[in-house]
Structure 1
Amino acid sequence: MSKSKAKAGNQQLRIIAGQWRSRRFGFSEQPGLRPTPDRVRETLFNWLSGYTEGARCLDLFTGSGALTLEALSRGAARALACDQSHEVVTTLRGHLASLDCTRGEVRQQDALALLGQNASETFDLVFLDPPFHQNLLPAACQALEANGWLSKRAWIYIESEAPPSQLELPTSWQLHREKRAGQVYYSLWQRQA
């Protein structure tokens, strides 16, 4: 990718590993957008080692698309990213096109509206990083479970402003790992169906 394309946005993200390792992509600043930092993504995908390749991924509140791009780079079979911002969706679609990647789909839709529908497919990895201080996480988690979006042993990654012990999550989800980076708590859960 040319430097001019990488600098198209106000900020940049870098793919850490996999097929597109070290590729950089620009994205514009948006209110509430907190791209998952490199070292947090590296930790997450180390936790998911052995589970990403061939997985079906759902990236709700996708924002910069960093988690979608990283999962696809590491061999995910499919990724569905969802965000309500037209600019976010257009930018991520452009990144996927520049990579000639047909395994990624990006929808411009409210994540809770999407989850409110009965799922037409199940997902093995789900990334949940909603805007903070809007109380979106409990509803998203309950809808994932209630409307059939999760495979039997799905992994769910959550970024939140509250510690994992304070989150209102389905009782069938078991905490696998957790950490904190600054003001952000991040945790990985596995569904025990």
Structure 2
Amino acid sequence: MRIISGIYRGRPLIAPKGDTTRPTADRTREALFSMLVSRLGSFEGLRVLDLFAGSGALGLEALSRGAASCTFVEQDGDAISALKTNIVKMMGDDSRPNSFSRAPSRILPQVTLSTTASEESEAKPIPPTRPKTEIRAQSVMALGPAAVPYDLILLDPPYESGAGIVALERLLRLGWIAPGALASVETMKKETVTVEGYDVEVERVHGKAKITLLRAR
């Protein structure tokens, strides 16, 4: 895997160990972001929410293209380890975690990362503002009310689980989704994505996968 476009174009990414997560293929990710660019025009200043984040490839791609921040939500330990590595591989050594807070009981620690591009990384230009990343090491369904809403929501839930639909409806009620926000959901091509509170903008099939873009009302 690699970053497709933007300031960190070409940076390699690693996939989580094991088979509990399913990274979005580069070609599918490229198709998704082409769909998003045609509707957004620019990612500059966007607040991005990457749900069922896995390796973080979707959220990191958005950051590379100019998004102001991304919150990654993932509960699998191997995926979280890969995500932390990918943040450093993309943004440089000075983007390592600088603060930790431990969640109670069996929930993995919640990690907040403030990241900046490395001045020495392959002579890449430095973003004019410092992109911020946050890792929520917990289930998407365990998220509470949001402090501020998000502009772009990227979901790659387990196939045929219905988890993406449930998450979008729940997070809309909890204030995570800004009015007019775009959401993308990857599913198997035979699945239908209909979510209360959202309008379907477009559906595209890529191999065995289908991408559905929705607009929050």
Q: 5+ unaligned residues in a row in structure 1: which ranges?
A: 1-12
- Asked whether the equivalents of residues 62 and 83 of structure 1 are also in contact (C-alpha less than 8 Å), the reply is yes
Structure (1 or 2) with the larger CA radius of gyration? 2
Q: In the aligned structure 1, how far is the partner of 2:3 from the partner of 2:133? A: 15
SS in 2 for 1:137: helix
Report deviation, 1:31. 2.5
Name the counterpart of 2:156.
129
Residue 72 (structure 1) aligned to one of 63, 66, 69:
63
Q: 5+ unaligned residues in a row in structure 2: which ranges?
A: 96-114, 116-131
SS in 2 for 1:26: coil
SS in 1 for 2:72: strand
Deviations 1:82-110 (A, max 9, x none): 11012211221222134145111112111
Equivalent residue letter for 1:47: M
Q: Does 1:59 align with 2:50?
A: yes
CA 1:136–1:15 in 2, change beyond 3 Å: closer, same or farther? same
Equivalent residue letter for 2:137: Q
Q: Does 1:43 align with 2:31?
A: yes
Indicate the percent of aligned positions where both proteins have the same amino acid.
35
Report deviation, 1:32. 4.1
Q: Does 1:169 align with 2:195?
A: yes
Q: In the aligned structure 1, how far is the partner of 2:182 from the partner of 2:190? A: 18
Equivalent residue letter for 1:148: G
- Asked whether the equivalents of residues 186 and 210 of structure 2 are also in contact (C-alpha less than 8 Å), the reply is yes
Name the counterpart of 1:105.
134
Equivalent residue letter for 1:64: S
- Asked whether the equivalents of residues 89 and 107 of structure 1 are also in contact (C-alpha less than 8 Å), the reply is no
- Asked whether the equivalents of residues 49 and 154 of structure 2 are also in contact (C-alpha less than 8 Å), the reply is yes
| Misfit runs of 4+, over 4 Å | none
Residue 184 (structure 1) aligned to one of 199, 202, 209:
209
SS in 1 for 2:141: helix
Report deviation, 1:48. 1.8
SS in 1 for 2:195: coil
Q: Does 1:86 align with 2:115?
A: no
Q: In the aligned structure 2, how far is the partner of 1:28 from the partner of 1:129? A: 14
Aligned residues: 176
Deviations 1:52-97 (A, max 9, x none): 2211000010012110110010010000001101221122122213
Q: In the aligned structure 2, how far is the partner of 1:146 from the partner of 1:162? A: 27
CA 1:61–1:180 in 2, change beyond 3 Å: closer, same or farther? same
Equivalent residue letter for 1:111: V
Calculate the aligned-residue CA RMSD, in Å: 1.7
**TM-score normalised by length of structure 1:** 0.83
**TM-score normalised by length of structure 2:** 0.75
- Asked whether the equivalents of residues 16 and 54 of structure 2 are also in contact (C-alpha less than 8 Å), the reply is no
Q: In the aligned structure 1, how far is the partner of 2:149 from the partner of 2:175? A: 7
Q: In the aligned structure 2, how far is the partner of 1:122 from the partner of 1:57? A: 9
Equivalent residue letter for 2:136: R
